[in-house]
Amino acid sequence: VITAMSRPMINHRGPEFAALFKELVEGLQWALRTRNDVLLFPASGTGGLEAAVVNLLSPDEQVLFCTIGSFGDRWANIAAGYGADVVRLEMPWGQAVVPEDVGRVLDEHPSINQVFVTHNETSTGVTNPLADIANVVKSREKILAVDSVSGASCLPLNTDDLGIDVLVTGSQKGWMAPPGLTMAVVSEAAYAVSARAKCPRWYFDFARERKYQERGQTYTTPPIVEMRAVAEGIAMLREEGLENAWTRHSTVAEMVRTGMEALGCSLFAAPDCRSNTVTAIDNPTGSPEKLKELLALLRTTYGLVLAGGQDKAQGQIFRIGHLGMIDEAAVYDIFDALEQGMRDVGVITDTGAGLAAAREVARRGAVAVG
Ligand SMILES: *Cc1c(COP(=O)(O)O)cnc(C)c1O
């Protein structure tokens, strides 16, 4: 990826760019299992979330957001910021959306025509039952928008089979690239909604972007470096095989979860919805200050960067990201560092139990995706 990123610049209105654009879009269609357009915008993932909102919604329109954490809240807040009448279906952090609840809310609010849902909630380490939710939404013939910034390419995702109308992802998570490029799958139904939607918009206008991308260009100057990086990430996924990559994430996640429990830690997410791309762990140190100390020690002494909790989970949990460029050997490195840090701050007395438990999971073989 780094080599791909270090090549000299090209004219973004020329034939070399058209070839890169084609390779990238076809690769994304392959990885996301879609025949729809994939529109590219220079922005972080949040830009893609905003693009979905401004192209699908009108001020005062009633709309359902299913939110189970920080990123779900962010998406709902964007829509509220544009004046939509946001109905929130919330779950306590650490739990997934119950598909039947989505059906109930839609039946109670017949004016709602659009549903927004997070595939994988990074702040809590929870994966929603996306196929079941999509089934509920599409059987009622509603528009479905999905945030899969931290799920796409790592978790099973058949965009067209599920009938997803807008799917948002971002370069810096499962695609193994740096931040800066957001990508949105857009269905014909979503374009039709967009033509009527009244939210103010300019930069993220789907119709104009589509017109340019039909010619192999983007409306604005594109982030060529990020595009090359994602294209290389997809080339790596093609070599591995998409379903093998999903299985790799499933195996690695099971190693992390089993290893953490072997260290006496409890996992934040409910057992039936734990994410294969990020694991949230209850703070084992006894206090938010001590957790901060542990994370700082890991970073400075052991070269391991882990995340704390976001928003109301701050001080309550820490998170291990295990997506994209991750394998079994990396999990051993994580436990080697983490256990030394936990010992140094007095959470455990002996090191090795987590690593041994993770090793035992790997020894039993690949863990099928659930
Ligand atoms: C990372 C992420 C985003 C986008 O965040 P940016 O910082 O704007 O790239 C959106 N949703 C989820 C679930 C994420 O994990």
User: Per residue in 259-291, pLDDT tens?
Assistant: 999 999 999 999 999 999 999 999 999 999 999
Question: What local confidence, expressed as pLDDT, does residue 249 receive?
Answer: 98
* Residue 324 three-state SS: coil
The Cα 67–Cα 303 span in angstroms is: 33
Task: Find the mean pLDDT for residues 79-88.
Answer: 98
Question: What local confidence, expressed as pLDDT, does residue 370 receive?
Answer: 74
Question: What local confidence, expressed as pLDDT, does residue 298 receive?
Answer: 98
Ligand 1 atom 2 nearest Cα: 149
pLDDT tens for 211-252 read 999 999 999 999 999 999 999 999 999 999 999 999 999 999
Say if ligand 1 is within 6 A of residue 44 CB.
yes
What is the helix, strand, coil percentage profile of the chain, to 5? 45, 15, 40
Calculate how far, in angstroms, residue 179's C-alpha sits from the geometric centre of ligand 1.
10
Question: What local confidence, expressed as pLDDT, does residue 251 receive?
Answer: 98
Percent of the chain with pLDDT over 70: 100
Say if ligand 1 is within 6 A of residue 117 CB.
no
CA–CA distance from 249 to each of 82, 124, 151, 262 (Å)?
36, 17, 10, 20
Say if ligand 1 is within 6 A of residue 67 CB.
no
**Is the CB of residue 181 less than 8 Å from the CB of residue 42?**
yes
pLDDT tens for 156-188 read 999 999 999 999 999 999 999 999 999 999 999
Say if ligand 1 is within 6 A of residue 34 CB.
no
Say if ligand 1 is within 6 A of residue 17 CB.
no
Calculate how far, in angstroms, residue 146's C-alpha sits from the geometric centre of ligand 1.
12
Per the prediction, the chain carries an average pLDDT of 98
Calculate how far, in angstroms, residue 108's C-alpha sits from the geometric centre of ligand 1.
30
Model pTM greater than 0.95? Answer: yes
Q: pLDDT band for position 335 (50/70/90)?
A: very high
Ligand 1 atom 9 nearest Cα: 45
Say if ligand 1 is within 6 A of residue 52 CB.
no
Say if ligand 1 is within 6 A of residue 122 CB.
yes
pLDDT tens for 25-82 read 999 999 999 999 999 999 999 999 999 999 999 999 999 999 999 999 999 999 999 9
